[in-house]
Amino acid sequence: MLEGLLIGLQTALSLQNLLMVIGGCLIGTFIGMLPGLGPMSIIAIMIPVAISMGDPSAALILLAGVYYGAIFGGSTSSILLNAPGVAGTVASSFDGYPMARQGKAGKALTIAAIASFAGGTIGALLLMVFAPMLSSVALLFHSAEYFALMVVGLSAIAAFAGTGQVAKAMLMTLLGLIMATVGEGALFNQPRFTMGLMDLQSGFGFITLAMAMFALPEALFLVLKPKDAGSADGEIKDLRITRQEAKSIAPVIGRQSIQGFFIGVLPGAGATIASFLGYAVERNIAPKKEQEEFGKGSIKGLAAPETANNAACTGSFVPLLTLGIPGSGTTAILLGALIALNVTPGPRLMLDEPQVFWAVIMSMFIGNLVLLILNLPLIPYIAKVLSVPRNYLIPFILFFTLMGAYIGQNNATELLLLVGFGIFATILRFADYPLAPLLIGFILGGMLEDNFSRSMQLYDGVSFIWERPMTLGLLVIAILLVILPSYRARRAKMRAQGVADGD
Amino acid sequence: MALDRWIALVLLGICLIYGYAAWFTMDDALAPFMRRNPIWPSTFPKVLSVLAIVAALVILLGIEKSEQKIGDIDYRRLGDYKIGQALMLLGLMVAYALLLRPAGFLFSTVGFLVGGSFILGERRWIMMLLVSGIATGIVWYLVQVVLGIFLRPLPGFLVGG
């Protein structure tokens, strides 16, 4: 591990990669602050830039920096304007915004930055410990287990979608998988489902789809319903916190780093759930007197979600780097970028390309440090971006989505596909269909089919399902994951029907 | 019928067509020696189509109960939102897609950015032109020179391409 750390440090500390971290964090903070633009959109927009750099470590470092920056920027707008730019920072506005209203905006930002830093750093430490362990287990896996593992991942994403949403998430995942079968697959040199169109020969472009699923609907929502983001009135000053305050948030940060990290590791959970859960847990275990302060500007109530969301972001890299299976929309986009750069994340990544693996982990530490010492003092100036008029902002967002899709494929038909899918995605969002599962399904589709086909060929049929106990076990877990939530909801309803209402 | 079930109906239709292609038409083109393979190009799509049809039916028939939630935007009152602006912007994007090659990057992009601001209600022409012009120049320089991706700057007839 020490050797890996040194390789990583060497790669991450090269001038180019340092600039990538700093640049990524700054860009992420800038854009993440804008209400309505989440990390997925920002990363989707940055991908063409990252891919054209050609160096996988630098690209991944840049994108990871953007990811962290976006979460940090999102908390800034949550605190200052009560307008979270990112779903993962909604919980930060519960106590951050009241603090800002009381004139303690500077203090709130500092607490957010420290909590994010601690969450991210502790998360990265846990990642260093757990990723190699998981990877060595994963090396024992065959294609049959890989197939089963991906099925588990995809069903977990559907299962965590929430009550009444499981079927929708399932359908979206399957739609993503179906879309992945369009075009010429690697396994059979034969175009499928192209309807005779030359433009579909190579399948749908993944950047186009990512833009259409996230960036475009978000921009259209901004047009449809202008968020009345109040102005960030008042100076941001007095960034210091007292020793007393530091002492009271330290245990919160410790607990939430660990809890957030493990929630982040689970597929489909991610930063949003981690931050809400973190907030709820800390409120419940706080002493009675402090409990009343939650929601009115409690520093613990701000530190908890901030720590948890950053730790969860780091945690979500575990399945990506060790198994090559993304658990969230953001990591799915990162996976797509890596595949485009000829790097296949998975257990062999640590053996074959240790510099990529360790450089990413090292750049997490550097990125967190950059956010703390560079972005925090700059925040009063960066916050000025919040006053860019939307008349200029929205055309630019749309332009960047178009550019991203065009540069990726160099094909104007791609732009028409982007608009078409974008409209479709917006309608899906109206009806509360989750969009991340579609993209995750699309990105995993090729690998899922390859592993499935390989196992079918090795075992001359589907007998691999019962001949390999681990595969069978994983598939049973996948089925349980999908069925249990709806079964439990149904049983709860049955029970409720038998009981008279209390009042 | 609520919008989510309409969407499920449309998706069900798509899945049925997809399933039909996978189950009944794809295998005709398969070479005879490939037929002895345990896996065919249509195997995986067949599985997917069945699962997707089941999922679409679950939503369509309302088997999984869910409470109606109104998200950020209530689609039943679309008229209350700035739907006109959104549609015009989408039209502008289509126009951009069609004009990018023939009109060249610089003209179409300045046009797109100015047009976009105009649709959103901006009327300060000089400011608009200035902002879009500078931004277009910077993006073109970054993409063409720094990233090395070819973007034809001017209309074809001006550069003879």
Reported ipTM: the value is 0.90
Mutating which of B14, B20, B42, B90 best tests the A interface, going by the most A Cβ atoms within 10 A? B90
Q: Do A430 and B73 touch (CB under 8 A)?
A: yes
Half-sphere exposure of A129 (CA within 13 A, CB side): 8
Helix (H, G, I), strand (E, B) or coil at A192: strand
A488 within domain boundaries? yes
- Examine the domain organization and report whether B92 and B147 are in the same domain: yes
Q: What is the largest CA-CA distance in chain A?
A: 70
Closest partner residue to B120 (CB to CB) among A165, A391, A403 is A391
| Token output for B121 | 């209600």
Query: Average of pLDDT values for A402-410?
Result: 78
Q: Averaging pLDDT over each range in A31-35, A43-47, A233-237, A493-497, which range is the top one?
A: A43-47
Report yes or no: A463 at the B interface, CB cutoff 8 Å: no
pLDDT in tens, A309-342: 889 888 888 888 888 888 777 888 888 888 888 8
- Examine the domain organization and report whether B123 and B86 are in the same domain: yes
Question: CB of A308 within 8 A of CB of A116?
Answer: no
CA B71 to chain centre: 22
DSSP string, A276-317: HHHHHHHHHHS-HHHHTTTTSS-HHHHHHHHHHHHHHHHHTH
- Examine the domain organization and report whether B24 and B65 are in the same domain: yes
- Examine the domain organization and report whether B54 and B105 are in the same domain: no
Angle ∠(A318,A320,A323) on CA atoms, nearest 5: 90
**Residue length of chain B:** 161
For chain A, the average pLDDT equals 83
Bridge partners of residue A184, in order along the sequence: A191
Write out chain A residues lying below 8 Å of B1, CB-based: none
Neighbouring residues of B64: CB distance < 8 A, sequence distance ≥ 6: A164, A166, A167, A486, A489, B58
pLDDT value at residue A296: 85
Burial of residue B108 (number of CB atoms within 10 Å: 0-12, 13-18, 19+): buried
**Helical ranges in A460-500 per DSSP H:** 464-467, 469-498
| Token output for A395 | 């055309």
Structural domains of chain B, count: 2
> What band does B159 get if pLDDT is binned at 50, 70 and 90?
low
Question: CB of A256 within 8 A of CB of A91?
Answer: no
**Which residue has tokens 């613990």?**
A300
Q: From the CA of B161, how many Å to the nearest CA of chain A?
A: 16
What residues of chain B, 2 to 31, have a C-beta less than 8 Å from chain A? Answer: 2-4, 6-8, 11, 15, 18, 21, 26, 29
Among B19, B38, B69, where does a domain finish?
A: B69
A502 within domain boundaries? no
Residue B31 — φ and ψ, nearest 5°? -65, 145
Report the distance separating Cα A230 and Cα A45, nearest Å.
Answer: 27
Q: Whole-model pTM?
A: 0.83
> What band does A259 get if pLDDT is binned at 50, 70 and 90?
very high
Residue A492 — φ and ψ, nearest 5°? -60, -35
Structural domains of chain A, count: 1
Phi-psi label, residue A388: left if phi above 0, alpha if psi -120 to 50, beta otherwise: beta
B74 within domain boundaries? no
In 3D space, the residue among A40, A91, A58 whose CA is nearest the CA of residue A360 turns out to be A58
**Interface A:B, Cβ pairs < 8 A:** 179
Q: Do A174 and B64 touch (CB under 8 A)?
A: no
- Examine the domain organization and report whether B98 and B153 are in the same domain: yes
Neighbouring residues of A189: CB distance < 8 A, sequence distance ≥ 6: none
User: How many Cβ atoms are within 10 Å of A136's Cβ, its own excluded?
Assistant: 13
Q: Is the pLDDT of residue A493 over 80?
A: no
Q: Do B122 and A391 touch (CB under 8 A)?
A: yes
Helix, strand, coil: what percent of chain B each, to 5?
A: 75, 0, 25
Burial of residue A284 (number of CB atoms within 10 Å: 0-12, 13-18, 19+): exposed
Q: Do B64 and A392 touch (CB under 8 A)?
A: no
A166 within domain boundaries? yes
What residues of chain A, 373 to 402, have a C-beta less than 8 Å from chain B? Answer: 389-392, 394-396, 398-399, 402
B75 within domain boundaries? no
Report the distance separating Cα B93 and Cα A223, nearest Å.
Answer: 14
pLDDT in tens, A464-477: 888 889 899 999 99
Residue A192 — φ and ψ, nearest 5°? -125, 140
pLDDT value at residue A150: 87
A503 within domain boundaries? no
Neighbouring residues of B38: CB distance < 8 A, sequence distance ≥ 6: A456, A457, A459, A460, A461
- Examine the domain organization and report whether B28 and B96 are in the same domain: no
Domain that holds residue B13: 3-69
Question: CB of A156 within 8 A of CB of A266?
Answer: yes
Domain that holds residue A235: 2-497
| Token output for A123 | 């998360």
User: How does A417-436 read in b/e, with b if 16+ C-beta sit within 10 Å?
Assistant: bbbebbbbbbbbbbbbbbbb
> What band does B62 get if pLDDT is binned at 50, 70 and 90?
confident
What residues of chain B, 139 to 158, have a C-beta less than 8 Å from chain A? Answer: 139, 143, 147-150
Report the distance separating Cα A19 and Cα B114, nearest Å.
Answer: 33
B76 within domain boundaries? no
Query: Average of pLDDT values for A436-451?
Result: 87
**Residue length of chain A:** 503
**Which residue has tokens 């094909």?**
A411
